[in-house]
Amino acid sequence: MIGPGMNAVSAYAAAAPNAPLVRTTIPRRAVGERDVLLEIKYCGICHTDIHQVRGDWGESIFPMVPGHEISGIVVETGDRVRRYRAGDRVGVGCFVGSCRTCAHCLADQEQYCLQGPLSTYNAMSEGAPTYGGYSTHIVVDEHFVLRIPDGIGLAEAAPLMCAGISVFSPLNHWHAGRGKSTAVVGLGGLGHLGVKVARAMGAEVTVLSRSSGKEEDALRLGASRFLVTSDPARFAESRGSFDLIVNTVSANVDLDAYLGLLKLDGTMVNIGVPEHPNSFGMFSLIGARRSLAGSLVGGVRETQEMLDFCAARGIGAEIEVIGADEINEAYKRVVDGDVRYRFVIDAASFAR
């Protein structure tokens, strides 16, 4: 625990691009009048953490404490906080601030803030870097804190703060549901939650995957069909099959082939970020009035809606809980695809 006036907490950080994460101490600001101090219980490992630690996307700030899939317990609140009190189960996602005044923020779409949302880590705030959830505590403005309902365990809830809302938002926006044929590309940290959520919304769900190795899991999670995308015949057989395709993978794919799977007026939404630019033929769109779109997590209100939805239906992430000393090996396993389906760090181990 940290007491009044203390702001040094245990964490795991990377000192430079591709450096291993090691135990360290970081500062946390004093609790302001609208702030909430969380004791972090669990933090998920997102593939974004790995990209940022490796400097894959540029502009990385070191030393870096990753982590934006945070669940924990409220320890202290500022004098003007009304939504939370000590002991509440809460979470923090990909951003901890925004301008709160632009059109997008006023529409509860803070993730698209016109001035740019303040990322939970790897960003600058008032001249200091933000540090993420690979730590024992974090201080966050109450507006960006989410309530975790009792229907979800804190460990299973942590990945919902990024992976969960990343799939919920496009499924919600493009109205996945009863009578809608929905495909999820990839059955990883995002894709497995996409299957669960789409099925809970009432959609008929198909998983599109490069190999058949996860077919049994896909059906167990709620998919009714599984198509192996490495077989060109599967694309020919399934042309014009789907109202909505949610692409969760970060690899470049043949967009023309995938767009051909859409029905008239169908939409393919991309939430993964491939390493290289993609291209496609315009006839893949105009031939059936199809749309190619993208989606970035969700705003605070929608993220709370997602948590309430998941709790009411018993949806949580499929996880493997690890200690802090296993993070570097976990990174390697994520890159190798050797996790089913999300690593979650026990935050108590940051201080050991």
Give the pLDDT confidence of 274-308 residue by residue, as tens digits.
Answer: 888 889 999 999 999 999 999 999 999 999 999 99
Collect contacts of 29-32 with beta carbons under 8 A, ≥24 apart. 29/139, 30/5, 30/139, 31/76, 31/77, 31/78, 31/139, 32/78, 32/139, 32/141
Where along the chain do its domains lie? Answer: 8-162+298-351, 164-294
pTM: 0.95
Give the pLDDT confidence of 43-82 residue by residue, as tens digits.
Answer: 999 999 999 999 888 889 999 999 999 999 999 999 999 9
Residues 6+ apart with CB under 8 A from 156: 316, 317, 319
> Which pLDDT does position 249 carry in this prediction?
93
> Which pLDDT does position 58 carry in this prediction?
80
Which residues, given as ranges, of the chain have pLDDT below 70?
A: 1-6
Angstrom distance (rounded) from CA 345 to CA 347? 6
User: What would you measure as the largest C-alpha separation in the chain, in angstroms?
Assistant: 65
> Which pLDDT does position 71 carry in this prediction?
98
Asked whether 322 and 345 are in contact (CB, 8 A), the reply is yes
| Cα end-to-end span (Å), the chain | 13
Architecture of domain 164-294 in this structure: 3-Layer(aba) Sandwich (3.40)
> Which pLDDT does position 274 carry in this prediction?
85
> Which pLDDT does position 62 carry in this prediction?
96
Asked if 8-162+298-351 and 164-294 have one fold, the answer is no
CATH of domain 8-162+298-351: 3.90.180.10
